[in-house]
Amino acid sequence: MHKEFVKARDTIFSLTELRPEILIILGSGLGTFIELVQDRISLPYANLFPFQKPVVEGHGGLLHIGHLHGTPIYCMQGRNHYYEGYSDQEIRFPIQLFAHLGVKTLLVTNACGGMNPELVPGDLMLIADHINMIGRNPMIGATDYDLGPRFFDMSEPYSLKLIALAERIGKQQGIGIKKGVYVGYSGPSYETKAEIAAFRMLGGDAVGMSTVPEVIVANQCGMEVLGISCITNMATGMQKRKLTHSEVIEVANQAGEKLSRLLSGIVFEIGKK
């Protein structure tokens, strides 16, 4: 994939002199944050990723490059998922690309289902750790030793320092924030009642179809990672009505304002250092 990295890099560098060290990934329905990015330029994923398929509803499929509080950032509006038919190599390509471009910090968000009864739709949950139930590891295959080792540590996949920073900013802004364990599930079907019960027994608090692959790749690349989940619904068996993607998008849109404020505050603090 080396020539594809070079092609994507040259495309980005031809449009901007910015060299951000922060990458933000926005999940389903969470695109309102984009309005805060100043002097931004936007690129369709199809211009960067040679394997790109049509994007999922609620995912913009755009890379935005601009400033937030004077700090340059990359912001991916949406992401690729295993359930869309992507290979391990294709799933890891975006994160590896930005690692090659000098990104040091990944702020990743998602819309997901709550399994812990203490979570309610609209809550923001900082990801303390995750459980990979997708059945795949994106690092299977050839290793780019320029980015990291074949065997790498995952004892702190989500930075304790960034979690503490997010908690402090949330408190300052009056945003109630929860913390928990995220379970990655392949999809595209939602989980069964028995699966949710099993995930709860394993220690899971929320479940979704993304994030885990990106975080694994980012850790191999040596990035510092913060994960934020927006609870958009209660998981199967925890509510009477059936789950729909439209419900996910609706609640994510409603929670977008406080997520945007939280991300903005985090970027501001990181940019001061």
Q: Is 110 a catalytic residue?
A: no
Q: Is 2 a catalytic residue?
A: no
What lies within 8 Å, CB to CB, of 225 at 6+ separation is 105, 106, 107, 108, 157, 158, 159, 162, 215, 218, 219
Q: Is 81 a catalytic residue?
A: yes
Name the active-site residue from 84, 167, 247, 250.
84
Q: Is 245 a catalytic residue?
A: yes
Q: Is 229 a catalytic residue?
A: no
Q: Is 206 a catalytic residue?
A: no
Q: Is 201 a catalytic residue?
A: no
Q: How many residues does the chain have?
A: 273
Name the active-site residue from 69, 83, 137, 269.
83
Name the active-site residue from 8, 76, 99, 111.
111
End-to-end CA distance of the chain: 34
Name the active-site residue from 74, 80, 81, 223.
81
Residue 72 in contact with residue 66, Cβ under 8 Å? Answer: yes
Q: Is 210 a catalytic residue?
A: yes
Name the active-site residue from 110, 116, 233, 260.
233
Name the active-site residue from 67, 69, 245, 250.
245
- Residue position matching structure tokens 């406080």: 258
Name the active-site residue from 8, 166, 206, 209.
209
Name the active-site residue from 59, 74, 99, 229.
59
Name the active-site residue from 28, 116, 219, 260.
28
Name the active-site residue from 80, 110, 210, 219.
210
The pair of structure tokens assigned to 79 is 């992401």
Residue 1: which of 35, 50, 43, 52 has the closest Cα? Answer: 50
Residues labelled as active-site residues: 28, 59, 81, 83-84, 111, 209-210, 233, 245
